[in-house]
């Protein structure tokens, strides 16, 4: 237990160190543009699976949280010229509130109905933002990046590094939850809510906690998106693709362990990044659809499940 | 006041059209519990099918729609078989994985259409498209009247089918009690597969209406996820006449909001109503499940 | 008025409890006291309201009107997990294991969340193994819950309930669908669990088991109490016989 904890933190520190060194050594901007997107999806998938994976409440509203994160930044920059850390923290706070509201929904809805309700929330919020003139309405809005601060030479590198920090944060939280009583309680309520209650699990409080944490992280990950694109418009920020991609990444990787969404996000978004470069963005969506269908049908437990099965079989062979 | 009356008339016609595109979902989701979020994608696919036939052979879009129904019936049979084998048979969390599966299917359909036809809007030609009927100050486009008539006819036919024929009654029975049906000697899976086939076949005609009412583009299905699910949940899962009533309520609400507040608010109407219904009655207005 | 020394304060007191579903009254104005250490049998034909009553006691259903008092505390509006933490545990008519977990993990959920005092993980593991041994499930500790046989599943449910340190254990038809030797096994188990500190309410259709087990038996029919007393009294009761024979 203790040793794997140390290994995890050493790994996390090494990951951040590599990310930082990359910004110093690599002159070309493209790896950071692509890398930012991959990191962003890792963080989204990990954050999503805290609710969708551990607790089994499938949230199709990732786009809502992401979009609100983007627009929280847009508003803060336009109104106060707020710096990036303030944007991210504010987005996290708003995301936590939204998560709380989502948690209250779980009181009355389960399964498919919960999922449909989260899609509904997304479109409603998107419509409100579309009609909000101050942040640009349907046409979108241009955003000026502030000058970059040391030790970075370039704003995209800064964003890349910040997204790497968010990844570490999301993974650390997810890992903590999985290994603690919270994770066991969530797993219990995922299996059977009434049996969990009758075993002393405070299901509502745990669901609210999972929703708040997941929501805060999802929004925080969206916040730097405005600065990344230097532009925001409702139909991109709230695009359903974020919801389906995030879900697909978690399912592809497997939701039983925190590493699952990380693997799924790396596999899917790297593939997508490579294909966008070489082919076109439509193929992106096609890859998403095909991978989603293939994994849901062929490997319901995701890559983790596949790996475990193979590992099991080779173990049995040895005996 | 005239404006409001105008909106109500337009809304009723629009609502009937929404009813027609939701009927299939009312069977597949309402009666069979399949979380068919790819329903609107199949709808758009049908529209493109109608578009091809109309453009190539100059056949009337409605007849074109009828022509593709057998093909869609077969699609439906295959789709349900696949869904059953991979999800329902395995049991646990079929719903959640099912919804992910159908999203995947919807995305694939979207992209295939884009690859074949591009992202531009496509429209069909027919005598009744582009002309309208004037009564007093109100102008009613003929295409909306066509949609209205076809929707009414479809609802009546489906209602009769489900209540008068042996297979129709079996479909309704399977929704209520699968075991009872098995005891009667019918195979519930066959019945459900047949029902799903019908639900998909209806999309052939609904797809024709979709492209008659307005030009279509490949991602139009996203706008109809909310509308169709709103209608079906509001209708109380599986009632055909309820579907038409719920669709009219939605149509009127959307039109009034568009006239009074602005078209940019329209997309939220169906979802807000859906959320409202879910919040009050998590299983739909007249949810049949206990 | 003085309290007789042999009648201690009731552990569980149900006062005029009624539960309606729409127009259907499942439990109709039921009042009963359960004494500490008692072995209480609850019988009645199918649909007589037994499980509904249990759901009201354990908190799965909200009741109104009616009051549920546990150790002199009004728990009527408490959520189920709060009731579990106060000492009410139950098994389910149709077993509801945590399917993605092992037997040991199933018990750990209860130990993690319902344990009364703060104890170390090692101590909790010891407690868990103790309970599993008592239940004859020690060899199955690392088996997946989905791989258990019917009787093992029943035992695991009771074990999970015991892991919450209950003062009141409600067994909801823990013997349904078991062979006669398995019935005896579970019955012996329940007998061994009952003690001065653990009161047991047993719902059962197998009449022999209820009669052997109970100090006192209550019979429900159509949501109403139609008989209460010693097992032999209740068996001899005219209305109980009618309810069961359906005349």
Q: Which of B150-159, C5-14, C161-170 has the lowest mean pLDDT?
A: C5-14
Residue of chain A with shortest Cα separation from B265:
A127
Q: Which of C80, C92, C112 faces A181 most closely, judged by CB atoms?
A: C112
Residue A272 lies in a domain: no
Residue of chain C with shortest Cα separation from A185:
C109
Q: Which of A187, A188, A198 faces C80 most closely, judged by CB atoms?
A: A198
Q: Across all residues in chain C, what is the average pLDDT?
A: 88
Q: Which residues of A touch C101 (CB under 8 A)?
A: 187-188, 191
| Angle formed by the axes of helices A259-278 and A302-318, nearest 10° | 120
**For residue C172, is pLDDT > 60?**
yes
Residue A266 lies in a domain: no
pLDDT of residue B91: 63
Contact C37, C197 (CB under 8 A): yes
Residue of chain C with shortest Cα separation from A188:
C98
Residue C64 lies in a domain: yes
Residue C124 lies in a domain: no
pLDDT of residue A159: 93
Residue A250 lies in a domain: no
Residues of chain B in Cβ contact (below 8 Å) with chain A: 35, 82, 86, 90, 93, 95-101, 103-108, 110-112, 114-115, 222, 225-226, 229, 233, 262, 264-265, 267-268, 271-272, 274-275, 278-279, 282-283
Percentage of chain C exceeding pLDDT 70: 95
pLDDT of residue A240: 87
DSSP B197-213: HHHHHHHHHHHHHHHHH
Q: Categorize the per-residue pLDDT at B210 as very low, low, confident or very high, splitting at 50, 70 and 90.
A: very high
Contact C195, C215 (CB under 8 A): no
Contact B227, B49 (CB under 8 A): no
Q: Which of A184, A191, A198 faces C108 most closely, judged by CB atoms?
A: A184
Residues facing C24 on adjacent strands:
C21
CB contacts < 8 Å between A and B, how many? 119
Q: Which has the closest alpha carbon to C92: C27, C165, C157?
A: C157
Q: Mind listing the domains of chain B with CATH numbers? A: 2-118+133-280 (1.10.3470)
Range of the domain at C92: 12-97+165-245
Residues of chain A in Cβ contact (below 8 Å) with chain B: 56, 58, 60, 105, 108-113, 115-117, 119-121, 123-124, 126-128, 130-131, 138, 240, 244, 247-248, 251, 282-283, 285-286, 288-293, 296-297, 300
**For residue B148, is pLDDT > 60?**
yes
pLDDT of residue B289: 41
Q: Which two tokens stand for residue B222?
A: 């996203």
**For residue B290, is pLDDT > 60?**
no
pLDDT of residue C107: 93
Q: Which of A117, A288, A292 faces B275 most closely, judged by CB atoms?
A: A117
pLDDT of residue A40: 95
**For residue C246, is pLDDT > 90?**
no
> Which residues touch B235 (CB under 8 Å, ≥6 apart)?
B22, B26, B30, B242, B243, B245, B246, B247, B284, B285, B286
DSSP A47-80: HHHIIIIIS------HHHHHHHHHHHHHHHHHHH
pLDDT of residue C24: 84
Largest CA distance in chain B: 60
Range of the domain at A136: 2-239
Residue of chain B with shortest Cα separation from A105:
B279
* CATH code for the domain of C205: 3.40.50.300
List chains touching C (3+ CB pairs under 8 A): A
Residue A279 lies in a domain: no
Q: Categorize the per-residue pLDDT at B16 as very low, low, confident or very high, splitting at 50, 70 and 90.
A: very high
C125-131 mean pLDDT: 91
Instruction: Output the CA–CA distances (angstroms, integers) from residue C154 to B92, C25, C159, C185, C189, in the order listed.
Output: 21, 30, 9, 11, 11
Residue A132 lies in a domain: yes
Q: Which has the closest alpha carbon to B158: B42, B283, B69, B274?
A: B69
Residue of chain C with shortest Cα separation from A199:
C110
> Which residues touch A73 (CB under 8 Å, ≥6 apart)?
A87, A88, A91, A223, A224, A225, A226, A227
**For residue C117, is pLDDT > 70?**
no
Number of domains in chain C: 1
CA distance B14 to B35: 25
Least Cα separation, residue A251 to chain C (angstroms): 17
Pairing label, strands B132-135, B138-141: antiparallel
Task: Suggest the residue from A113, A253, A290, A299 to mutate for an interface test with chain B (most B CBs closer than 10 A).
Answer: A113
pLDDT of residue A91: 96
Q: Which has the closest alpha carbon to B122: B51, B219, B226?
A: B51
Q: Which two tokens stand for residue B44?
A: 């758009």
Q: Which two tokens stand for residue A75?
A: 């508003």
Query: Which helix (H) or strand (E) covers residue B54, if one does?
Result: helix B39-57
pLDDT of residue A116: 85
Q: What is the ipTM of this complex?
A: 0.89
Say whether the peptide bond before residue C65 is cis (omega within 30 degrees of 0). yes
Residue of chain B with shortest Cα separation from A59:
B96
Q: Which has the closest alpha carbon to C163: A200, A180, A206, A197?
A: A200
CA distance A271 to B198: 38
> Which residues touch A24 (CB under 8 Å, ≥6 apart)?
none
Residue C141 lies in a domain: no
CB contacts < 8 Å between A and C, how many? 76
Query: A190, C105: Cβ pair inside 8 Å?
Result: no
**Residue numbers in chain A where pLDDT is lower than 50:** 1, 317-319
DSSP A175-237: HHHHHSHHHHHHHHHHH-HHHHHHTT--HHHHHHHHHHHHHHHHHHHHTTHHHHHTEE-HHHH
What b/e readout covers C168-177, taking b as 16+ CB neighbours within 10 angstroms? bbbbbbbbbe
Residues facing C17 on adjacent strands:
C30
Least Cα separation, residue A295 to chain B (angstroms): 9
pLDDT of residue B282: 60
**For residue B127, is pLDDT > 50?**
yes
pLDDT of residue A318: 47
pLDDT of residue C5: 53
Q: Which residues of C touch A197 (CB under 8 A)?
A: 59-60, 79-81, 84
Q: Across all residues in chain B, what is the average pLDDT?
A: 85
Q: Which two tokens stand for residue C42?
A: 């609850």
Q: Which of B95, B226, B265 faces A111 most closely, judged by CB atoms?
A: B95
Residue C1 lies in a domain: no
Number of domains in chain A: 1
Residue C236 lies in a domain: yes
Q: Which residues of B touch A255 (CB under 8 A)?
A: none
Q: Which two tokens stand for residue A279?
A: 């082919």
Residue C128 lies in a domain: no
């Amino acid at each position: 237990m203790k040793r794997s904890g140390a290994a995890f933190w050493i790994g996390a520190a090494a990951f951040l160190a590599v990310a930082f060194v990359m910004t110093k050594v690599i002159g070309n901007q493209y790896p950071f543009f692509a890398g930012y997107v991959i990191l962003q999806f890792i963080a989204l998938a990990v954050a999503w699976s805290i609710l969708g994976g551990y607790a089994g409440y499938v949230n199709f509203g990732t786009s809502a949280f992401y979009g609100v994160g983007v627009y929280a930044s847009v508003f803060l920059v336009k109104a106060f010229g707020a710096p990036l850390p303030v944007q991210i923290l504010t987005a996290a706070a708003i995301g936590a509130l939204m998560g709380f509201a989502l948690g209250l929904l779980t009181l009355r809805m389960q399964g498919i109905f919960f999922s449909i309700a989260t899609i509904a929330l997304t479109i409603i919020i998107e419509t409100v933002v579309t009609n909000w003139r101050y942040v640009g309405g349907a046409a979108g809005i241009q955003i000026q990046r502030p000058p970059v601060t040391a030790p970075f030479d370039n704003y995209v590198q800064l964003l890349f590094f910040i997204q790497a920090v968010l990844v570490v944060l999301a993974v650390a939280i997810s890992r903590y939850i999985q290994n603690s009583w919270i994770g066991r309680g969530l797993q219990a309520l995922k299996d059977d809510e009434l049996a969990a209650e009758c075993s002393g699990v405070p299901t509502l409080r745990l669901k609210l906690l999972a929703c708040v944490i997941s929501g805060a992280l999802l929004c925080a990950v969206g916040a730097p998106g405005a600065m990344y694109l230097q532009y925001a418009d409702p139909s991109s920020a709230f695009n359903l693709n974020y919801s389906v991609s995030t879900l697909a990444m978690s399912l592809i990787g497997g939701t039983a362990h925190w590493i699952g969404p990380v693997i799924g996000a790396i596999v899917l978004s790297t593939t997508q990044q490579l294909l966008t470069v070489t082919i076109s963005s439509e193929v992106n969506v096609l890859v998403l659809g095909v991978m989603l269908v293939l994994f849901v049908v062929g490997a319901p437990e995701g890559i983790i499940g596949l790996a475990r099965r193979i590992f099991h079989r080779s173990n049995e062979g040895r005996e | 006041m005239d404006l409001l009356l105008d909106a109500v008339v337009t809304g009723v016609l629009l609502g009937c059209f929404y009813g027609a595109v939701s009927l299939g979902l009312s069977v597949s989701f309402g009666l069979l519990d399949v979380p068919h979020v790819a329903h609107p994608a199949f709808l758009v696919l049908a529209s493109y099918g109608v578009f091809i036939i109309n453009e190539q052979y100059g056949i009337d879009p409605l007849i074109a729609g009828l022509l593709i129904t057998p093909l869609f019936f077969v699609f439906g049979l295959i789709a349900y078989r696949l869904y059953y084998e991979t999800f329902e048979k395995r049991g646990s969390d079929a719903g959640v994985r099912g919804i992910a599966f159908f999203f995947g299917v919807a995305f694939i359909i979207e992209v295939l259409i884009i690859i074949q036809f591009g992202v531009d809007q496509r429209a069909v030609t027919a005598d009744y498209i582009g002309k309208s009927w004037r009564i007093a100050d109100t102008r009613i486009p003929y295409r909306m009247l066509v949609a209205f008539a076809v929707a009414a006819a479809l609802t009546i036919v489906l209602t009769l089918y489900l209540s008068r024929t042996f297979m129709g009654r079996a479909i309704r029975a399977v929704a209520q009690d699968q075991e009872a049906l098995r005891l009667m000697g019918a195979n519930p899976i066959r019945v459900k597969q047949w029902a799903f086939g019908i639900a998909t076949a209806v999309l052939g005609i609904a797809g024709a209406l979709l492209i008659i009412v307005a030009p279509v583009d490949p991602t139009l299905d996203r706008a109809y996820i909310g509308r169709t699910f709103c209608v079906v949940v509001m209708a109380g899962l599986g009632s055909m006449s309820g579907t038409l009533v719920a669709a009219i309520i939605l149509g009127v609400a959307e039109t009034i909001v568009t006239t009074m507040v602005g078209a940019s608010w329209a997309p939220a109407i169906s979802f807000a109503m859906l959320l409202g219904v879910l919040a009050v009655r998590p299983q739909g207005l007249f949810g049949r499940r206990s | 008025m003085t309290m007789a020394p042999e009648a201690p304060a009731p552990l569980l007191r149900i006062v005029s409890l009624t539960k309606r579903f729409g127009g259907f009254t499942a439990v109709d104005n039921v009042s009963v006291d359960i004494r500490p250490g008692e072995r209480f049998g609850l019988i009645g034909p199918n649909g007589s309201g037994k499980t509904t009553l249990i759901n009201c006691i354990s908190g799965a259903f909200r009741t109104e009107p009616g009051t549920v008092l546990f150790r002199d505390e009004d728990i009527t509006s408490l959520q189920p997990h709060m009731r579990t933490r106060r000492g009410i545990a139950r098994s389910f008519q149709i077993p509801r294991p945590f399917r993605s977990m092992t037997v040991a993990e199933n018990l750990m959920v209860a130990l993690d969340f319902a344990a009364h005092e703060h104890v170390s993980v090692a101590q909790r593991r010891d407690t868990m193994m103790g309970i599993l041994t008592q239940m004859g499930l020690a060899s199955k500790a690392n088996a997946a819950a989905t791989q258990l046989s019917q009787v093992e599943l029943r035992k695991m449910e009771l074990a999970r309930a015991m892991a919450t340190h209950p003062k009141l254990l409600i067994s909801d038809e823990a013997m349904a669908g078991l062979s006669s030797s398995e019935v005896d096994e579970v019955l012996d188990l329940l007998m061994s669990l009952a003690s001065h500190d653990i009161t047991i309410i047993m719902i059962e259709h197998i009449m022999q088991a209820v009669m052997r087990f109970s100090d006192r038996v209550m019979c429900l029919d159509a949501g109403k109490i139609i008989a209460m007393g010693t097992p032999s009294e209740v068996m001899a009761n005219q209305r109980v016989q009618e309810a069961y024979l359906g005349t």
